[in-house]
């Protein structure tokens, strides 16, 4: 039974049983404390907690998930995957334990010919919470399951909660017995490898508080509305129904594994270590593809870092399998073909998905090449020192700074006959993880608990009236101070205020929040920010500038008209720039992010190389031609399907509901789904001035532009600058470029001549300095301070010059100088001196220690420095003492 068929049977079954089928939410979670949707229940939390009313009392879905906390287990077990799909059915105050159990059992054991999944009852076991007599009785007396196949477990296994005060409840899990070949008998309480969990039924009935740990909390009461939250792992059911050993061999994943096998020339099943690598590749390629399809792009932080790690682990694993050429062009196609029937958007967006993947691989290949060179040098130095172990700090530097995988470092070191200090490496990694966890905890503490908005959201959605009005009357529904509900806020306080209606735009879709004020009887509020903390609710962060604002008070919202006008200009200009980019570069140049504020726009788009000057000019001209043409801007509310049928662009990575707002500029010239505010005619934009273009990743570029009056002011400033230059240089405007180029060439020539004079002057000083040498037995030692110098090169040049004046006679030159207030010493030794044991690197370290810094280098020339210039005489003395001992 194919994976897609299993999902369809599940959704069809629950649709027949009066469940609303909802689409999967994005892998990019709306929860600010989560990078990704890590579980099927994450998008349902607002409904489960009552913050947002559920659209139906019964819901079923297939939810995409990403989980990376067990990434090291991927490929090693049958069930660990980074990307996975959860089937769920949900009841919000409707059916409870018996209904959930009946539905699960009927679907699992129903015959395939009748639309069921066809599991044999004798292969199924269940667990219930240790005190849940009701659930056990339903399984035993209603379903008829034998008592010996019902096991009771404690809080660690059969009680669900979010880890925060709020809803929780016991659960009942359904397991499949894979047979004696996979472990010992005795049920899931004995062996969770043989007995594989496939469905979890959570009975959300309790309110918990005083949480002290995963199993340490207090059940303080019952929920007023009991909910059902279930999750069935699609991949787990798929590999059981398909008769394969693990999730990597199912129909949606195996094609990638098989293509990796073909590319490597190896055989799957021949070697355990290689099999793990093949499964890692199969999992990570699919996970990367799905993350890219939801708008995530590789980067060095947040979600982008996780994606980059998955993609680089793929490349590394293929290299360990002997494949050095690019692999994403082959592996991504295999994954797309396996997944496109379930996710058609993969085919639709294939051009930009493949371009992003290929660009990231190319970047990492360069990283690997650079890292290999650095590693080769480190290994050579390790051997030269007589050690058999590469320092953990060097392995960590390669990993942390250059992105060079530790596994590859281990393999290359082993080939060179060396070990790696894993203890030191792991210690440094643990320190890094601890810092990251501390940062994450601190970040989580700064995020308000969205449950405080529950009562406010229950009063209905905030009506946004700002498309048509800049001022409107409303009522204060709620006030929060420091994340806690209060009855009022007084002058000087910063608070969140929720109104029944507002004309102030909440930040979204790249457009920043409106500026403005909220006023009422005896009070005035300056609006600092406007956000949507939960779907359907608009919250205004304000400073109370006058009086006291209280709940139920009348309120008038007033938008800063000038700021809104400029923001509308910038947002509409963004649409024009997007259309111009696509007209110039092609349809693959699609938006990957934007920021619009009064007078300014920033637009990121999918493209792998810098734009030429001519291309930027063409884009700017196309956008401004649309401004001059005075194109009409219209908006329409319609279904998502109708908008797509009309050709509207659903921007990559954005989330849309079933009803959307479509913005046309000049009809189909620019047609996008957008909730922002816009001008009525493109002529109102005035002017677009493209001021910057840069890279923001391997496959993304960024353009920046000024709009309207800000664009004009920039042009005016440039005109004034050109006028000043023409006047100062006494050159006509049309000859200014050549004149500046000529002056630059003259300056460069002059600097070269000055450098030659300075070098000659330094060379002239060398003989006199050499004559100050002190005889230390058969060794000549020169110590000289140059005073203020321009830099280390000047000191080094004199040190080597002094050394060379002694010919074959053993000599050491120690020359110092002070640059920018910091002292430095350069040591130069010749062959004869080194034969007597005088090594420049060791002497530089001694001098640096006296100066309060660090130093070192080669045996012939080395440098040390510090912060205490007054200690230079002492540093020279320390060098001399060391030479006398040599």
Condensed to tens digits (0 to 9), the pLDDT of residues 364-388 reads 888 777 777 778 888 888 888 888 8
Instruction: Please give the average per-residue pLDDT across 199-218, as a whole number.
Output: 90
Residue 179 backbone zone (phi > 0: left; psi -120 to 50: alpha; other: beta): left
45 three-class SS: helix
Residue 305 CA to chain centroid, in angstroms?
5
Question: 297 or 619: whose pLDDT is higher?
Answer: 619
571 is in an annotated binding site: yes
Q: Please tell me the least confidently modeled range out of 130-144, 433-447, 837-851.
A: 433-447
Are 815 and 840 in contact by the 8 Å Cβ rule? The answer is no
Question: 825 or 76: whose pLDDT is higher?
Answer: 825
Q: What is the per-residue pLDDT for 654?
A: 55
**Structure tokens, 730:** 């006494």
DSSP of 359-404: HHHHHHHHHHHHHHHHHHHHHHHHHHTT-SEE-HHHHHHHHHHH--
CATH architecture of 3-247: 2-Layer Sandwich (3.30)
| pLDDT class of 653 with cuts at 50, 70, 90 | very low
512 three-class SS: coil
Q: What is the per-residue pLDDT for 590?
A: 79
Instruction: Please give the average per-residue pLDDT across 701-728, as a whole number.
Output: 92
575 is in an annotated binding site: yes
Instruction: Please give the average per-residue pLDDT across 247-267, as a whole number.
Output: 94
Instruction: Please give the average per-residue pLDDT across 839-851, as a whole number.
Output: 90
Q: What is the per-residue pLDDT for 468?
A: 92
Query: What does the angle CA 286 – CA 291 – CA 295 come to, to the nearest 5 degrees?
Result: 145
d(CA 735, CA 515): 46
Per-residue three-class SS string for 625-647: HHHHCCCEEEEEEEEHHHHHHCC
Q: What is the per-residue pLDDT for 445?
A: 35
Instruction: Please give the average per-residue pLDDT across 491-500, as a whole number.
Output: 94
| pLDDT class of 446 with cuts at 50, 70, 90 | very low
* pLDDT digits 0-9 by tens, 543-552: 999 999 999 9
DSSP of 844-885: HHHHHHHHTS-EEE-SSEEEEE-S-GGGHHHHHHHHHHHHHH
| pLDDT class of 230 with cuts at 50, 70, 90 | very high
* pLDDT digits 0-9 by tens, 274-329: 999 999 999 999 999 999 998 888 887 788 888 988 998 899 889 889 998 999 99
DSSP of 538-600: -EEEEEEEEEEEETT-EEEEEE-HHHHHHHHHHHHHHHHHHHHHHHHH-TT--EEEEEEETTE
**Structure tokens, 627:** 């401004």
**Structure tokens, 352:** 């930009």
What residues does each domain of the chain span? 3-247, 254-444, 461-559, 564-717, 764-885
Counting other chains too, the contacts that 33-36 makes at CB distance below 8 Å and 24 or more residues apart are: 33/443, 33/444, 33/447, 35/302, 35/303, 35/306, 36/65, 36/66, 36/67, 36/68, 36/303, 36/306
Per-residue three-class SS string for 438-459: HHHHHHHHCCCCHHHHHHHHCC
Using the Cα atoms of residue 391, residue 394, residue 398 and residue 400 in order, give the sign of their dihedral: positive
CATH architecture of 461-559: Beta Barrel (2.40)
d(CA 844, CA 849): 9
Q: What is the per-residue pLDDT for 839?
A: 92
Per-residue three-class SS string for 77-104: CCCCCCEEEEEEEEEECCCCHHHHHHHH
Q: What is the per-residue pLDDT for 655?
A: 58
Q: What is the per-residue pLDDT for 401?
A: 67
Q: What is the per-residue pLDDT for 442?
A: 46
Residue 127 DSSP code: E
Is the per-residue pLDDT at 878 higher than 60? yes
Query: What does the angle CA 330 – CA 368 – CA 308 come to, to the nearest 5 degrees?
Result: 60
Is the per-residue pLDDT at 608 higher than 80? no
User: Which residues, listed in sequence order, are joined to residue 508 by a DSSP beta bridge?
Assistant: 511
Per-residue three-class SS string for 725-768: HHHHHCCCHHHHHHHHHHHHHHHHHHHHHHHHHHHHHHHHHHHH
Residue 105 DSSP code: H
| pLDDT class of 657 with cuts at 50, 70, 90 | low
Is the per-residue pLDDT at 863 higher than 70? yes
Is the per-residue pLDDT at 434 higher than 80? no
Place of tokens 């989330």: 655
d(CA 429, CA 433): 6
C-alpha atoms less than 13 angstroms from C-alpha of 385 in its C-beta half-sphere = 12
Q: Cα-flanking dihedrals φ and ψ of residue 337, to 5°?
A: -65, -35
Name every residue whose Cβ is closer than 8 Å to that of residue 1 and which is 6 or more positions away in sequence: 112, 117, 118, 238, 241, 242
Is the per-residue pLDDT at 612 higher than 80? yes
| pLDDT class of 436 with cuts at 50, 70, 90 | low
Q: What is the per-residue pLDDT for 45?
A: 83
Name which of 469, 556, 552 is nearest 505 in CA terms.
Answer: 469
468 three-class SS: coil
**Structure tokens, 170:** 């016991």
**Structure tokens, 864:** 């040390």
* pLDDT digits 0-9 by tens, 108-127: 999 999 999 999 999 999 99
d(CA 154, CA 130): 5
Are 372 and 316 in contact by the 8 Å Cβ rule? The answer is no
Whole-structure pTM value: 0.68
Question: 435 or 534: whose pLDDT is higher?
Answer: 534
718-748: b or e for each residue (b if 16 or more CB lie within 10 Å)? eeeeeeeebeeeebeeeeeeeeeeeeeeeee
Q: What is the per-residue pLDDT for 759?
A: 80
Are 577 and 705 in contact by the 8 Å Cβ rule? The answer is yes
Residue 339 parent element (H or E) = helix 328-339
Question: 612 or 607: whose pLDDT is higher?
Answer: 612
Q: What is the per-residue pLDDT for 652?
A: 47
Is the per-residue pLDDT at 404 higher than 70? yes
Percent of the chain with pLDDT over 70: 96
Are 81 and 235 in contact by the 8 Å Cβ rule? The answer is yes
d(CA 147, CA 103): 20
As a whole number, the mean pLDDT across the chain is 89
Instruction: Please give the average per-residue pLDDT across 716-722, as a whole number.
Output: 90
| pLDDT class of 644 with cuts at 50, 70, 90 | confident
d(CA 847, CA 840): 11
Q: What is the per-residue pLDDT for 140?
A: 95
Reply yes or no on domain 564-717 having CATH 3.30.450.20: no
Are 40 and 25 in contact by the 8 Å Cβ rule? The answer is no
399 is in an annotated binding site: no
User: Which residues, listed in sequence order, are joined to residue 88 by a DSSP beta bridge?
Assistant: 61
* pLDDT digits 0-9 by tens, 778-829: 899 999 999 998 888 889 999 999 999 999 999 999 999 998 888 999 999 9
Is the per-residue pLDDT at 143 higher than 60? yes
Is the per-residue pLDDT at 31 higher than 80? no
What fold characterizes domain 764-885? Diaminopimelate Epimerase; Chain A, domain 1 (3.10.310)
Percent of the chain with pLDDT over 90: 59
Instruction: Please give the average per-residue pLDDT across 678-689, as a whole number.
Output: 95
**Structure tokens, 525:** 């509020």
812 three-class SS: strand
d(CA 254, CA 283): 9
DSSP of 241-286: HTT-SSGGGSTTTHHHHHHHHHHHT--TTS-HHHHHHHHHHHHHHH
678 is in an annotated binding site: yes
Pairing of strands 166-177, 484-486: unpaired
Q: What is the per-residue pLDDT for 813?
A: 94
Instruction: Please give the average per-residue pLDDT across 234-254, as a whole number.
Output: 93
d(CA 58, CA 103): 12
Name which of 549, 492, 485 is nearest 518 in CA terms.
Answer: 549
């Amino acid at each position: 039974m194919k994976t897609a068929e299993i999902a369809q049977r599940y959704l069809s079954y629950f649709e027949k049983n009066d469940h609303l089928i909802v689409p999967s939410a994005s892998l990019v979670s709306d929860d600010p404390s989560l990078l990704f949707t890590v579980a099927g229940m994450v998008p349902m939390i607002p409904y489960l907690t009552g913050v947002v009313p559920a659209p139906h009392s019964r819901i079923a879905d297939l939810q995409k998930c990403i989980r990376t906390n067990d990434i090291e287990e991927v490929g090693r077990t049958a069930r660990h995957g980074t990307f996975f799909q959860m089937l769920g059915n949900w009841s919000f105050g409707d059916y409870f334990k018996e209904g959930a159990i009946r539905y699960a059992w009927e679907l699992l054991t129903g015959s395939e010919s009748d639309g069921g999944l066809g599991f044999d009852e004798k292969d199924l076991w269940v667990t219930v919470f240790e005190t849940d007599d009701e659930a056990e009785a339903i399984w035993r007396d209603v379903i008829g399951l034998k008592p010996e196949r019902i096991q009771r477990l404690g809080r660690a296994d059969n009680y669900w909660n979010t880890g925060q005060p709020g809803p929780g409840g016991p659960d009942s899990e359904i397991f499949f017995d894979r047979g004696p070949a996979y472990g010992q008998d005795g049920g899931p309480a004995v062996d969770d490898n043989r007995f594989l969990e496939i469905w979890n039924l959570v009975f959300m009935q309790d309110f918990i508080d005083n949480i002290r740990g995963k199993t340490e909390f207090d059940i303080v009461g019952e929920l007023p509305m009991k909910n059902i939250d279930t999750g069935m792992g699609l991949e787990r059911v798929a590999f059981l129904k398909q008769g394969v050993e693990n999730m990597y061999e199912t129909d949606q994943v195996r094609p990638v594994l098989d293509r990796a096998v073909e590319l490597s020339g190896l055989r799957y099943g021949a070697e355990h270590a290689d099999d793990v690598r093949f499964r890692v590749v199969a999992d990570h390629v699919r996970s990367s593809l799905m993350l890219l399809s939801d708008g995530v792009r590789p980067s060095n932080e947040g979600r982008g870092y996780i994606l980059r790690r998955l993609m680089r682990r793929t490349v590394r694993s293929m290299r360990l399998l002997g494949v050095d050429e690019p692999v994403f062009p082959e592996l991504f196609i295999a994954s797309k073909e396996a997944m496109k029937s379930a996710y058609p958007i993969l085919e639709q967006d294939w051009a930009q998905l493949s371009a992003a993947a290929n660009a990231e691989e190319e970047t990492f290949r360069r990283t690997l090449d650079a890292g290999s060179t650095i590693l080769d040098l480190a290994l050579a130095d390790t051997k030269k020192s007589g050690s058999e172990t590469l320092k953990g700090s060097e392995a960590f530097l390669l990993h942390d700074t250059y992105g060079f995988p530790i596994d590859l470092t281990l393999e290359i070191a082993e080939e060179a006959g060396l070990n790696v200090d894993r203890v030191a490496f792991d210690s440094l990694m643990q320190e890094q993880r601890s810092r990251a966890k501390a940062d994450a905890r601190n970040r989580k503490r700064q995020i308000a608990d969205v449950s405080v908005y529950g009562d406010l959201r229950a009063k209905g959605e905030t009506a946004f009236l700002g498309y048509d009005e800049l001022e409107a009357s409303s009522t204060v529904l709620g006030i929060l101070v420091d994340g806690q509900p209060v009855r009022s806020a007084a002058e000087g306080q910063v608070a969140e205020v929720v109104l029944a209606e507002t004309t102030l735009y909440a930040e979204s879709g790249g457009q920043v929040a409106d500026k403005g004020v909220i006023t009422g009887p005896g009070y005035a509020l300056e609006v600092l920010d406007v956000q949507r903390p939960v779907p359907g609710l608009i919250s205004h962060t304000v400073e109370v500038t006058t009086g006291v604002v209280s709940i139920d008070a009348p309120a008038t919202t007033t938008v800063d008209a000038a700021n809104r006008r400029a923001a509308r200009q910038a947002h509409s200009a963004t649409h024009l720039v997007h259309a111009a980019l696509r007209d110039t570069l092609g349809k693959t140049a699609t938006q990957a992010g934007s920021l619009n504020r009064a007078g300014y726009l920033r637009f990121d788009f999918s493209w792998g190389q810098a734009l030429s000057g001519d291309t930027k000019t063409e884009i700017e001209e196309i956008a401004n031609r649309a401004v001059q043409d005075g194109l009409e801007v219209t908006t329409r509310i319609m279904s998502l399907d109708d908008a797509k049928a009309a050709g509207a662009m659903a921007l990559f990575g954005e989330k849309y509901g079933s009803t959307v707002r479509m913005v046309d500029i000049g009809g189909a010239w620019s047609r996008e789904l957008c909730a922002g505010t816009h001008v009525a005619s493109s002529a109102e934009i005035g002017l677009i001035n493209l001021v910057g273009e840069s890279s923001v990743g391997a496959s993304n570029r960024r353009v920046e532009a000024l709009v309207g009056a800000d664009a004009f002011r920039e042009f005016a400033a440039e005109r004034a600058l050109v006028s000043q230059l023409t006047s100062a240089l006494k050159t006509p405007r049309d000859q200014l470029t050549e004149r500046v180029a000529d002056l630059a060439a003259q300056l460069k020539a002059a600097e070269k001549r000055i450098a030659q004079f300075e070098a000659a002057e330094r060379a002239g000083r060398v003989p006199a300095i050499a004559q100050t040498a002190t005889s230390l037995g058969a060794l000549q030692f020169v110590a000289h301070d140059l005073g203020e110098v321009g830099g280390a090169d000047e000191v080094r040049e004199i040190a080597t010059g002094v050394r060379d004046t002694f010919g074959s006679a053993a000599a050491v030159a120690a020359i110092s100088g002070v640059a920018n207030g910091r002292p430095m010493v350069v040591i130069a030794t010749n062959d004869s001196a080194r034969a007597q044991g005088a090594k420049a690197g060791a002497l530089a370290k001694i001098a640096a220690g006296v100066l309060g810094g660090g130093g070192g280098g080669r045996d012939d020339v080395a440098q040390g420095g510090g912060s205490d210039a007054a200690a230079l005489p002492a540093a020279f003395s320390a060098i001399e003492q060391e030479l006398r001992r040599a």
